[in-house]
Amino acid sequence: MTTDVHAELKAKARDYLHTRGTRVPGRVIHERVAAAFAALDETLDTVTAAQVSARPLPGEWTVGEVVDHLLETHRPGLDELRCLLAGQRPPGEAIPASLLSKAPALRPWPWLRRELRRVHDDILDLLAGAPDDFETSARAPLVMVVNAPGAGGGIEQIHWLEDLDWKAYSITWRLHALDHRNQVQKILAAVKAA
């Protein structure tokens, strides 16, 4: 993939985050993130115990690993949002893009679901309490991941660090939840087809 294509995809992602995040009232961010979390929960509610650890797609995550990843990335993201809303840059490095716990297969499914709901409820509570017009110069680094057409018809992931304001940062949870909801649906379809 050429540098021009990379630059175009980055510009498109930045424009999305600015128009759908930065320029939108806080209550709209809250509504959109809440809707995405609800859609994810709706899909996860259909997962059976046997499907949690099934790996029908070689080299891909299981449903349990997807939820583990969401928990491991959204939990520190909640702390980063707290920093942004306090007008501070979060300390440390950006949250890694493919973060998993040390033993995702050993985490019980009911516990994973309960913990993810709790973190999502905390995120939504924090967003609900943020004033629509709150402004701060604080930014948080976020590892942006964009899927792009790769050589030979495959998919290539482009990664880069982007400093985001609190609204742009928050709207990424919508994208993240919906992207992984689609991933879970793909896994479940492959399990049923196997």
Helices (H), the chain: 3-17, 26-44, 49-52, 63-85, 109-129, 166-193
Rg (the chain; Cα; Å):
17
**Residue 1: predicted pLDDT:** 54
CA pair distance 66, 32, nearest whole angstrom: 21
**Residue 194: predicted pLDDT:** 86
Residue pLDDT tens, the chain, 194 long: 577 888 999 999 999 999 999 999 999 999 999 999 999 999 999 999 999 999 999 999 999 999 999 999 999 999 999 999 999 999 999 999 999 999 999 999 999 999 999 999 999 999 999 998 899 999 999 999 998 877 777 788 899 999 999 999 999 999 999 999 999 999 999 999 98
**Residue 152: predicted pLDDT:** 76
**Residue 150: predicted pLDDT:** 77
| Helix pair angle (109-129, 166-193), 10° resolution | 150
The CATH number of 3-193 is: 1.20.120.450
Tens of pLDDT, residue by residue over 149-187, are 777 777 888 999 999 999 999 999 999 999 999 999 999
